Structure 1
Amino acid sequence: MASVIPIPAMQDLKVTLQESVLVFPSQQTEKKALFLSNIDQILNYNIPTAHFFKASPDFPPEIVAKRLKIALEKVLVPYDFMAGRFKLNHESGRLEIDCNAAGAGFVVASSEYSLDELGDFVYPNLGFRQLAVTGFKCGGFAIGMCMNHALFDGIGAQTFIENLATQAFDDKPLSVTPCHNRHLLAARSPPHAEFQHPEFFKPDTSLSGPPVFDCKREELDYKIFKLTPTAINFLKDKAKDETISATTKITSYNVVAALIWRCKALSCGADYNKERVSTLLNVIDIRSRLNPPLPSSYCGNAVLVAYASAKCMDLEEWPFSKLVKMISEGPSRVSDEYAKSVIDWLEIHKGLPCGEYMVSSWLRLRFDQVVYPWGKPVYSGPVVSHRKDICWIFPDNDDGINALVSLPAAEMEKFESYFHDFFP
């Protein structure tokens, strides 16, 4: 019903570098500074992903690499900022992108292994960090991508990848024309925050430049917690009781996030205190919540965090339905007025998300449905990173849900225990 996949033993993919170059836009682009919204400003960290493809007789890895290189050159025209460089505007103290056509990194490599030898791609393999455009001895290949979150949210990244795939064909137009007007999420003048925003905190004001949403680097264990459809239905049934509100949304995300929140809060190490308040952050898309709505093709970060907070003792003792109800209620607070208040609060305080744990859903992203000339990926997903404060959940091929958890060994042992004990 529910199981745990630890990190596999094979972490060295025996990769040989073949080419490492900068790729430039295929046409001249305008040199300008790209405004980054207050939401973009606080998401300055990298998100690595891996996309695996079976061997195709018409597209051996060397042909794929050539096609992708040409596709990247073409897509860097409408996405000119991806060939630019971050810079700090010292007058405003804001991060922006210098669209200077300095180039995007492009790496080609080969591995001594075949794809079959890697096993299940969903395994949180540290070796996947080595992936670029990487060919395997079986003729299959992988595309490893690493993009800064300040450039895109998940929907924006998916659109970019779809557009990159179209440009690998000989005669296809962009699938979506991206909307680059990030001033659509600029703060009001003057900014005024009508709401309290406990999901953010004001960092040390002595620091220069925009705050950085990061965590300290330490040795972590990485595991995938797999929930089958049967396990998810068990959680949904457990979330239903006579006290549940008719407005509570008992979704797959809400029940999985509730379980993860409980396990994480109760697994804290030596600092565990039943009176301690634990806050879960839930990433939500605000495109359709604004008035007027943002274009669906909006290219920057159009996400905010909803929150749920409770004492550890309550998370341990309360019925599961109450946790699901709290998570369900969080997004309902994020109206047009609330979102604009957040953006203005960030303008005033230069704040950062404030929570013990964030559950970021990739359930509706369709990276594995992107069609390249050589077909769809057999697997697409996140690659493990140094972040222990974020759990990524993404679809399983069997209609279940995978949760990628990264924690210090002692905390992981407790997390796993609480996870297993929740199921019969």
Structure 2
Amino acid sequence: MHSLTHFMETISQDTPLLLQDRKVTIHKTSMVFPSKQTEKKSLFLSNIDKVLNFDVKTVHFFEANQDFPPQIVTEKLKKALEDVLVDYEFLAGRIEMNYETNRLEIDCNAEGVGFVVASSEYKLNQLGNLAYPNQAFEQFVHKTNDFLKIGDIPLCVVQLTSFKCGGFSIGITTSHATFDGLSFKTFLDNLASLAANKPLSVIPCHDRQLLAARSPPCVNFPHPEMINLDDLPSGIEHGIFEASLDKHDFKVFQLTSKNINNLKEKAKVINNTAHVTGFNVITTHLWRCKALSRPYDPNRSSTILYAVDIRSKLNPPLLKSYTGNAVLTAYASTKCEELKEGEFSRLVEMVAEGSRRMSDEYARSIIDWGELYNGLPNGEVLVSSWWRLGFEDVLYPWGKPKYCCPVVYQRKNIILLFPPYRSCEDGDVELNIRVALPPKEMEKFQSLFYSFLI
């Protein structure tokens, strides 16, 4: 017991004292429009896009750069947004329902994206550990709902907040229907290139018909990872993306390279080593902790979901520059008894099998399923990895971000993987894991997290 306590102390991250008020003042809100006239048209949204019709909020922090004070950055950023909206014209549009097709689509009407200029009374180094989930980061992003006029919901709002030290943050709110993680990274690369008066780094591919359902739809596989909402009784909680109003504890768990390598060694007992990736062993570890943090029932079945990029899985493959959502949820499922007592290597194999299952035919089957049913991904927990998306590698004229993170949200069934906040104190940390759970479940999750690592 003593060794476990010592182990937890060496790699756990204590809850820091969080500044609740960032003392942010909004100076100006406006709309940004494409710098050239764009074609008025409707953009088809795939069945994957329409499921992800909710906002994603990220904050990108930058240290002071004497050549680029916040005022100059504000001007350059606004001009780059105007220019990028020529090539990403859908981002200046609005989501609407096409009642003839009964589908959501984007009306590319050039109504613009929101732009907010703000300042904080703090210095950047007074904000504390940027990797720790802090509800107060909400003050660095702006809501899209009723942005400047009631009923108007832009697909993107950008807020630049300057700090007393000359550093600043860029908070971006986008509808997930517009981008997945990979295409958002490409968008940021292009925004950064235009801000530096360079051409686009990647020519985006906007043809979302590439992920349209087949006609007629052909569902060739069972899809337990999806649930038809029309089959559920009213009042039943559903949807992995549903935000809870219950009070949750937030915690960041950290894994070092040594922790991850130890998990890989455990998994190699019966596995082909090609399947023993860092992502697979981490996902399996989190699956066990999440499922067993609830009251134990050996016969209860637990399903884990995790996003798989299908660009390379399709035949022919999608271009890497595809701008829509090209991710589907793979799954693994077993009883809690096996999660508690079974071989870790066997559980890792189940997770690996979920990714291998995602062939062209399987992906098309899920998309066709979405054409036939009103459904959402269905599981006990979704592991969403921002670990290697590379937002922190985007090179703007004023430098790379010091750190990028999402704004905390109350979703107890989604676990987020993030790169570490690089500082001298946590140089050996490889991964930050953000978890939000009710207090009793968090206590159990934390105990399992460390005991399963030994």
**Normalised by the shorter chain, which TM-score bucket?**
over 0.9
* Aligned partner of 2:359 among 335, 357, 362: 335
* Aligned partner of 2:171 among 138, 144, 152: 144
Distance 1:7 1:286, change over 3 A: farther
- TM-score, scaled relative to structure 2: 0.88
Alignment map for 1:162-311 (pairs within 5 Å): 162-169=189-196, 171-204=197-230, 214-218=241-245, 219-241=247-269, 244-246=270-272, 249-268=275-294, 272-311=296-335
Identity of aligned residues (%): 55
CA distance in 2, matches of 1:8, 1:240: 40
CA distance in 2, matches of 1:263, 1:145: 32
CA distance in 1, matches of 2:101, 2:164: 51
Aligned-residue offset at 1:4: 3.3
* Aligned partner of 2:104 among 89, 95, 98: 95
Aligned-residue offset at 1:300: 0.3
Distance 1:214 1:113, change over 3 A: same
CA distance in 1, matches of 2:126, 2:275: 41
* Aligned partner of 1:358 among 364, 382, 398: 382
Question: Is there any run of 5+ residues in structure 2 with no aligned partner, and where?
Answer: 1-9, 141-158
1:86 aligns with 2:95: yes
CA contact (8 A) 1:7 1:124 kept: no
Q: What residue number does 2:152 align with?
A: none
CA contact (8 A) 2:264 2:278 kept: yes
CA distance in 1, matches of 2:240, 2:46: 15
Aligned-residue offset at 1:118: 1.1
CA contact (8 A) 1:51 1:381 kept: yes
CA contact (8 A) 1:5 1:123 kept: no
1:64 aligns with 2:92: no
Distance 1:420 1:247, change over 3 A: closer
* Aligned partner of 2:128 among 116, 119, 124: 119
Moved more, 378-387 or 212-221: 212-221
Q: What residue number does 2:452 align with?
A: 422
Aligned-residue offset at 1:387: 1.9
CA contact (8 A) 1:8 1:124 kept: no
Q: Secondary structure at the match of 1:307?
A: strand
Amino acid at match of 2:432: N
Question: Is there any run of 5+ residues in structure 1 with no aligned partner, and where?
Answer: none
CA distance in 1, matches of 2:88, 2:371: 26
CA contact (8 A) 2:239 2:377 kept: no
Amino acid at match of 1:336: D
Amino acid at match of 1:267: S
Amino acid at match of 2:419: P
CA contact (8 A) 1:199 1:306 kept: yes
User: How many residues matched?
Assistant: 416
Q: What residue number does 1:32 align with?
A: 41
Aligned-residue offset at 1:240: 2.2
Q: Secondary structure at the match of 1:292?
A: coil
CA distance in 2, matches of 1:8, 1:48: 23
Distance 1:134 1:362, change over 3 A: same
Distance 1:190 1:7, change over 3 A: farther
Moved more, 139-148 or 180-189: 139-148
CA contact (8 A) 1:51 1:142 kept: yes
CA distance in 1, matches of 2:239, 2:160: 30
Amino acid at match of 2:256: T
Q: Secondary structure at the match of 2:80?
A: helix
Aligned-residue offset at 1:223: 1.2
Aligned-residue offset at 1:407: 1.5
Aligned-residue offset at 1:268: 2.1
Distance 1:27 1:205, change over 3 A: farther
CA contact (8 A) 2:230 2:374 kept: no
Aligned-residue offset at 1:249: 1.2
CA contact (8 A) 2:123 2:163 kept: yes
CA contact (8 A) 1:71 1:167 kept: yes
CA distance in 2, matches of 1:213, 1:262: 18
By relative contact order (CA 8 Å, sep 6+), the higher-ranking structure is 1
Q: Secondary structure at the match of 1:76?
A: helix
Aligned-residue offset at 1:414: 1.4
CA distance in 1, matches of 2:272, 2:239: 40
* Aligned partner of 1:314 among 335, 338, 341: 338
CA contact (8 A) 1:84 1:103 kept: yes
Q: Secondary structure at the match of 1:86?
A: strand
What's the C-alpha RMSD, in Å, of the aligned pairs? Answer: 1.8
CA distance in 1, matches of 2:201, 2:338: 48
Amino acid at match of 2:67: D
Aligned-residue offset at 1:126: 1.2
Q: What residue number does 1:19 align with?
A: 28
- Residue by residue, what CA displacement relative to the aligned partner does 1:335-374 show, whole Å, maximum 9, x if unpaired? 1111111111111113210111111112221111101010
Q: Secondary structure at the match of 1:178?
A: coil
- Residue by residue, what CA displacement relative to the aligned partner does 1:256-276 show, whole Å, maximum 9, x if unpaired? 11111111101125xx53221
Q: What residue number does 1:402 align with?
A: 432
Amino acid at match of 1:390: I
Distance 1:213 1:275, change over 3 A: closer
Aligned-residue offset at 1:393: 0.5
1:130 aligns with 2:139: yes
- TM-score, scaled relative to structure 1: 0.94
CA distance in 2, matches of 1:329, 1:82: 36
- Residue by residue, what CA displacement relative to the aligned partner does 1:192-249 show, whole Å, maximum 9, x if unpaired? 1111111111112799xxx9863142222211111011111121122222xx132651
Q: Secondary structure at the match of 1:6?
A: coil
